[in-house]
Structure 1
């Protein structure tokens, strides 16, 4: 019960701050999408892929290891931070030098200037690793959330202002740089990190095995997650990458922002039970149930609401995103469940099996992307094959996690998911009826908002009806309050 209370308390704090950030992010992205073209987004999207890889290199598995290791001292944190400073300098220099191969690969000299500027972001992002994970270890989720929301708002305003004054894609570049500097400064101040004299590598040696497997997993996961962007930008073009990237980002909003309400909380709390796999499984299956209840209806909602979402958040010129988003939406619920699994591998201390699982899944994903981009040369076919890969990977991940790591029966997971099928069928039928009625409506901004509102209400009503036991205590509490007043 104590574990559930800790997870619930942390999740509520993360929920409030996370969704404030989501709302800000959607508003800022919507404004930038109206000021910039798909090609301009695509240009920065190419470099962003490489920045993500350098972020993985900067972590080298230290982040999760800091959380997992229960006996770190202040001197250990200081030593690891000093190592991260040296690593940050090397990575920023390396990224600046990488600008030439990037420009040559995409045959566009503009990437030289962009990459050199974004080397600043690489430097400060790498410096964030130790102070941020110290805050996570201390379960300071409120502080982290406030820092992220504040930084998103301030740098988002900067990006929009620059785009309005015709800075083109450089508005996104300077926004990213400002965000990394501001976030690092706030993390460092609030983490309480103290710099001690001298340096020792004993702390690093103590987590070397754990962090090395985590780092290896992060690398292969990066390539499987970003190969599509690299190849689309090269073989289909910047405009195509802009469309694909926006579809992928919109699909990832519920994946990252619904699961990331819970997953940042899971590892630091369940790491204390790393020698009791039964406790970890019992708590995790409760989390999976919540993610399934949320993820399945959200997948259906985004599939049927794609036109309205694109018109509302991006504008008419982005309607080419709709078919890609619809395809990708079918995988949302699966990605939500899989994205929570990494924290359980980590909490159980089995980053070795996390690496093995990642290697298998990455092979499946890479093959699907290569086939979609190089053989079919189609954004839609790439999305279809990617979704198919996610479904294959789902079975691999949960077999390894539940059977091998937690030594439980994977049947419990599939039984849990099977119980969600009736609500899913009812929701699909309701949306088909709504689409048939809405076909006779006229078009316009107000109709888009009304249609989206109706679809949200349908999703909420169907989900609540099939999961009433979960909300019944809150309904009774509300009724009690009303009767007292």
Structure 2
């Protein structure tokens, strides 16, 4: 168990280095691009991404997690699986290229045609990168992946900014990402080389099929819950509205990814060794989700009350219409944060079948929420409310199935872990309400700093009082680190 704990710590550390440094760079790049490009440019990319994500489900078909989970795959098996991804990737890339005319006609926007055609290259690269990328995670090469991602993000981010300055428009968003994907594949394949097998055999595919097939079906169903909102907004409202919504959604995802994206990639590779010990698995789940809740719940209050300052400071006045949508979406942050890790726990427990059935229910709930929202009011705010409400319902369903059907454990310890984070959130909300009554008219940046620090201090003081953190120890640790440098 100590080895698992050490692997989790190492994985979390290097994944955190990757994500946190990457987020700082991404925020800087996004702030520049948002001032050089239009909401319509982001709307076009968001529209294309909806359809490309659908094809991405068919290129992945659960292969990556299946390669991680199976411990008995030979090099011959890996080569056969890689060959299969090349075939599937080529077919899906051709479909993406060929459908570009239909999609452009459907939305009445000719710019979508070349955008889709360029993105088809990314579809193929994403497919062939699955096996090398999974092998990097399987062998816990988190340090190398963190270094790779950071360097690529800086290099291709600078290229994207330069392209935007030169008037590349929407292409400044798509070309650097495709080039980055290609370099990632070459990097991963250097460490864990896989080759096309001219004597391809389906025997290797059958080894992972029982696991990957249910994961593929899960991803297929959840695709609609992840992307139907964008389809509805792009078709029934406007492309500009989709651009504002997409920017709000991405901005809301930034702090969310800072936590879940650090934990998510580590969980399945490390915890797959506990697939025969559900008691220990549930214990790890309780601790991890409690930690995430302590961050997520007060964070939603900070994002909600600082929404206007965050949007304007980061992206400029032209993105003002996205503020109400961002504030509504921020309420879903804690529930998204605790929902995301359920996938790796299902997979690490070797329960992709239960994950699939859970996904069917979640997708049905989400789609119904979108339909009701657009029927009531054709605005991005209505869609945002449906996102926030349905993610709560989906969290309840996911944890019920994970604990009741897979882990055979009680939900009571998990629910007890939510009491203190929710209490902290109430205190932060009340503090902000009191602050707003003071009617201080500060410049936007100063207001963001003050309000952000107020929320952070209230949360830290409360967590120090209940024993979750020790402010004195954190202060001493920070002083020691500063002296070392």
Count of residues in correspondence between the two structures: 482
Instruction: Tell me whether 424-433 or 460-469 shows the greater mean CA deviation.
Output: 460-469
Contact 1:147/1:187, CA 8 A, preserved across alignment: no
Q: Is the 8 A contact 2:15 2:262 kept in 1?
A: yes
State the Cα distance separating 1:434 from its structure 2 match. Answer: 2.8
Given that 1:312 and 1:448 are in contact with CA atoms closer than 8 Å, whether structure 2 keeps it comes out as no
Q: Decide whether the 8 Å contact of 2:428 with 2:455 is kept in 1.
A: no
Q: Output the CA distance in 2 between the equivalents of 1:453 and 1:352.
A: 42
Task: Find the counterpart in structure 2 of residue 365 from structure 1.
Answer: 366
Structure 1 SS opposite 2:73: coil
Contact 2:298 2:421 in 1 (8 A): no
TM-score, normalising length from structure 2? Answer: 0.94
Distance 2:480 2:440 in 1: 43
Secondary structure at the aligned position of 1:420 is classed as helix
Q: What CA distance in whole angstroms lies between the structure 2 residues aligned with 1:459 and 1:74?
A: 54
1:207 alignment partner in structure 2: 208
Greater mean deviation of Cα atoms: 314-323 or 179-188: 179-188
Q: Does 2:61 match 1:78? A: no
Alignment-derived partner of residue 143 in structure 1: 144
**SS state at 1:71 partner:** coil
Q: Deviations over 1:46-98 (max 9, x none)?
A: 00111222222111110110011011112211111111111111111110011
Distance 2:135 2:472 in 1: 36
Match of 2:30 in 1: 29
Mean Cα displacement is larger for which, 149-158 or 183-192? 183-192
2:432 is aligned with 1:440: no
Q: How does 1:138-217 map to 2 (within 5 A)?
A: 138-193=139-194, 198-217=199-218
State the 1:5 CA deviation.
Answer: 2.5
Q: After superposition, where does 1:368-447 map in structure 2 within 5 Å?
A: 368-437=369-438, 439-445=439-445, 447=446
Alpha-carbon distance in 1 for matches of 2:457, 2:129 = 42
Matched, 1:450 2:449: yes
**What is the CA–CA distance in structure 2 between the aligned matches of 1:435 and 1:98, rounded to whole Å?**
51
Q: Distance in 1 between matches of 2:466 and 2:319?
A: 36
Counting only pairs closer than 5 Å after superposition, residues 62-77 of structure 1 correspond to structure 2 as 62-77=63-78
CA 1:147–1:387: 2 relative to 1, 3 Å: same
Q: Is the CA contact (8 Å cut-off) linking 2:306 and 2:452 kept in structure 1?
A: no
Match of 2:8 in 1: 7
Which residue of the partner structure matches residue 278 of structure 2? 277
Task: Give CA-to-partner distance per residue, 1:86-123, whole Å, 9 cap, x none.
Answer: 11111111100111221121011221111111111111
Deviations 1:391-430 (A, max 9, x none): 1111111100011110001122212112333322222222
Match of 2:314 in 1: 313
The match for 2:42 is 41
CA distance, structure 1, for counterparts of residue 46 and residue 253 of structure 2: 15
Match of 1:228 in 2: 229
**2:252 aligned with 1:239, yes or no?**
no
Shift, 1:466, TM fit: 4.3
Supply the distance in 1 between the matched residues of 2:282 and 2:300 (Cα, whole angstroms): 26
Gapped regions of structure 1 (runs ≥ 5):
none
SS of 1:84 mapped into structure 2: helix
Contact 2:7-2:270 at 8 Å conserved across structures? yes
Partners of 2:443 and 2:477 in 1: how far apart? Answer: 39
Inter-partner Cα distance in structure 1 for 2:418 and 2:235: 39
Deviation track 1:220-240 (CA, whole Å, cap 9, x = no partner) reads: 111111000111011111100
Question: What's the CA shift for 1:39?
Answer: 1.4
Map of 1:94 onto structure 2: 95
1:321-376: per-residue Cα shift (whole Å, max 9, x none)? 11111111111111111100000100111111100000001000011112223442
SS in 1 for 2:276: coil
How far is the alpha carbon of 1:379 from its aligned partner?
0.9
CA pair 124-480 structure 1, distance change in 2 beyond 3 A: closer
State the shift of 1:196 in Å. Answer: 6.1
Unaligned runs of 5+ in 2: none
Shift of the alpha carbon at 1:436?
A: 3.0
- For 2:455 and 2:467, the matched residues in 1 are separated by 18
Flag the 1:470–1:7 CA change in 2: closer, same or farther, 3 A.
Answer: farther
Alignment of 1:291-306 (within 5 A): 291-306=292-307
2:464 paired residue number:
465
CA distance in 2, matches of 1:358, 1:466: 39
CA contact 2:325–2:384 (8 Å) conserved in 1: yes
The alignment partner of 1:408 has SS state of coil
SS at match of 2:391: helix
Kindly state the Cα deviation for residue 15 of structure 1 after the two structures are TM-superposed. Answer: 0.6
Shift of 1:192: 4.0
Question: Are 2:355 and 1:354 aligned?
Answer: yes
Q: Which residue of 2 aligns with 1:266?
A: 267
Once the two structures are superposed, residues 14-72 of structure 1 have per-residue CA deviations (whole angstroms, 9 ceiling, x without a partner) of 11111111111111111110001111211111001112222221111101100110111
**How far, CA to CA, are the matches of 1:328 and 1:478 in structure 2?**
35
Is the 8 Å Cα contact of residues 46 and 242 (structure 2) preserved in structure 1? yes
